[in-house]
Amino acid sequence: MPTLPNPHSLIETLEAGGPIMALMLLASVLLVALAMERWINVLRAGRAVRRVDEKVLEAARKGNFEEARRLCDGVGAPARDVFAAGLDRALGRVKGQPRMAMQRETKRAVATLKAGIWILGTSGALMPFIGLLGTVLGVMGSFQAIGSAGTGGFAVVSAGISEALIATAAGLFVALEAIIFFNYLQNAIGGTARELALLVDELNELLESREAASAGSSAG
């Protein structure tokens, strides 16, 4: 049967990694917290987009744009702001062009979803080098131990080599963690942005058809 890791050996491993290991552990915790916060926001945004399709666009497809605007208030951000901006202008509540307003709010919504994930991408590129710094410090410690003892041998250099290897492994682990989170969030945000853009295009089409019908009635 597999055995659970010994907490004492884990603590000893962390201590053997030196100060770089403490930095890596802190970075790992912060990256996980950031990724979870961004992931929750993306999930909420995705649900809001689906509610827009089910409620707001459904009312607009029936030609009831006043009802569509009212239903906008019941969906979450950032989709609410996108479609409310367009419908407010289409209904004459706010001056401006619905298409431009929704495009602007869509860009703002996507930028909000992407806020902070650059930290994950940067960490994925940076952490191996921090691990390499720990490797260098560990090797330097080994040479200092040899100089102080006046002799070599495994017993003299083992602490420094252990610190070097642990720091290298920790740097690679945190980098992989950051890259996986970054790629997942990028893909999820991209999917939500595409769904949002498609719904914006559909509402624009419905609003333009409404305007064309109104113009035809006025001409007649």
**Comparing C-alpha atoms, which of 50, 54, 48, 47 is closest to residue 68?**
54
Phi-psi region of 97 (alpha: psi -120 to 50; beta: other; left: phi over 0): beta
Q: Give the pLDDT of residue 130.
A: 80
* pLDDT classification of 56: cutoffs 50, 70, 90: very high
Give the C-alpha separation, 81 to 106, whole Å. Answer: 9
The span from the CA of 105 to the CA of 102, in Å, is 5
- Nearest residue to 203 (alpha-carbon basis) of 50, 103, 86, 31: 86
pLDDT (tens digit, 9 = 90+) per residue, 112-149? 999 999 999 999 988 888 877 777 666 666 656 656 65
Domain ranges of the chain: 19-211
Looking at residue 108, what is its pLDDT?
A: 94
